[in-house]
A and B are shown apart, each in its own frame.
Chain A
Amino acid sequence: MRHRYVSVKIDSEQDIDRWDLLNAVSNSLLMLFGEYGASLSELALIDYDPKSNHGIFRCAHKALEMVKASVAAVTETNRKKAALQIVYVSGTLKALRKKSTE
């Protein structure tokens, strides 16, 4: 299974933890593509830094467009207004981290 890694920046009215972030994107994915679409995506939050408000998601490469749309469609986390921005997409975690530090 090939994966894609998606780096996301969070802009929210309040501080959020990793579960809030994962719930927000998972719910958005479920709302837009249903349980079948969510099952294809194999979404996982593999890293989250609350200080810099950046998170890294992993998903199936075939579901990348669905995940990108779901990330962009998030409007709240934990019932507070929020916006997520996709910063980078990469095929490997190493390349994503390298891009992020550049």
Chain B
Amino acid sequence: MRFADLNLRLPIAEQERRQAEELIKRSAELGYSSIGVPLPVEVSQEEIQDLERICTDYDLDLIKRGDLKPKNVRDLLRLLRVLRGKREVIAVYCDSKLAARQTARDHRVDLISFPSADPRRRFFDFAEAELASKASAALEIDMAKLLMLDGLPRARLISNLRREVAVAKKFDVPIVISSGSADKYLLRRPQDYASLAYLFDLDHQAAVKALSAAPFGIVDRNRRKLSPNHVVPGVRIVRGGEDCQGV
């Protein structure tokens, strides 16, 4: 079975290439076949190619991810216009209710994430889930936070995740589990993440899906859309040239 970690926080700068290589190597050892790396808007094509080359050396597929942290709805729409055509996965970190609602409504968004552990700043309720379900957006669960916190803050986070997972299940919103880590000691095997998902009542089968079928579904869909052969949803060019005339 293939597994993907859609949020490996690799350092992009050239002077940190060794650290990036160490993380890529670790991901390959842990059993992932694809890694999603958040790439800032200003990253150069050479830097992306360098990362792709390192990933190829370790038999990994690099997924280009864009992370958006909009301040308001207008900011979200502007950032989506800039990044949607350049990244294979778009994740939005929602810090306000209005931005969260617009995020869930927008078909260009793939992953909805809530960075705050404060339950008042996590807006994944019934209304949000219904919108996300219609727009085919997935709920992202960042496991690094779960590992880094302890005591009462972790108990609160687990409680929030349990509620969000139940809401996502009710509205058929896909769930994606990702590492969200830049530290090799916070990376875990996909099966170990599935074990951790027991804490927020996600059964083993659903957790495995959140690490394999769900992320690959998003990536495959977006790669098709970004392909030059894509015309509109459901229509793509399968053959071109003179021999197609009169067909």
Q: Is the CB of A95 closer than 8 A to any CB of chain B?
A: no
CB distance from B46 to the nearest CB of A (A): 32
| Measured CA separation A66–B199 after assembly (Å) | 8
Which residues on the A side are within 8 Å of B191 (C-beta)? 86
A residues near B (Cβ < 8 Å) are 11, 13, 31-32, 65-66, 68-69, 71-73, 75, 81-83, 85-86
22 interchain pairs (CB within 8 A)?
A11-B185, A31-B150, A65-B198, A66-B198, A68-B195, A69-B195, A69-B196, A69-B199, A71-B192, A71-B195, A72-B188, A73-B147, A73-B196, A75-B147, A75-B185, A81-B183, A82-B185, A83-B184, A83-B185, A83-B186, A83-B187, A85-B189
A-B contact count (CB 8 A): 46
| Measured CA separation A94–B81 after assembly (Å) | 59
Q: Is the CB of B151 closer than 8 A to any CB of chain A?
A: yes
Q: Is the CB of B148 closer than 8 A to any CB of chain A?
A: yes
CB distance from B176 to the nearest CB of A (A): 18
Chain B at the A interface: SS class: helix
Q: Is the pair A68, B185 in contact by a Cβ cutoff of 8 Å?
A: no
Chain B residue with minimal CB distance to A83?
Answer: B185
Which residues on the B side are within 8 Å of A85 (C-beta)? 30, 188-189, 192
Q: Is the pair B148, A75 in contact by a Cβ cutoff of 8 Å?
A: yes
Flag B61-87 by CB within 8 Å of A: 1 or 0 each: 000000000000000000000000000
Q: Is the pair B188, A69 in contact by a Cβ cutoff of 8 Å?
A: no
Flag B163-207 by CB within 8 Å of A: 1 or 0 each: 000000000000000000001111111011101101100000000
Q: Is the pair A81, B185 in contact by a Cβ cutoff of 8 Å?
A: yes
| Measured CA separation A85–B191 after assembly (Å) | 9
| Measured CA separation A14–B173 after assembly (Å) | 42
Which residues on the A side are within 8 Å of B186 (C-beta)? 75, 83
Q: Is the pair B187, A68 in contact by a Cβ cutoff of 8 Å?
A: no
Beyond known contacts A68-B195, A75-B185: 19 more, CB 8 A cutoff: A13-B185, A31-B150, A65-B195, A69-B195, A69-B196, A69-B198, A72-B188, A72-B192, A72-B196, A73-B147, A73-B196, A75-B147, A81-B183, A83-B184, A83-B185, A83-B186, A83-B187, A86-B189, A86-B192
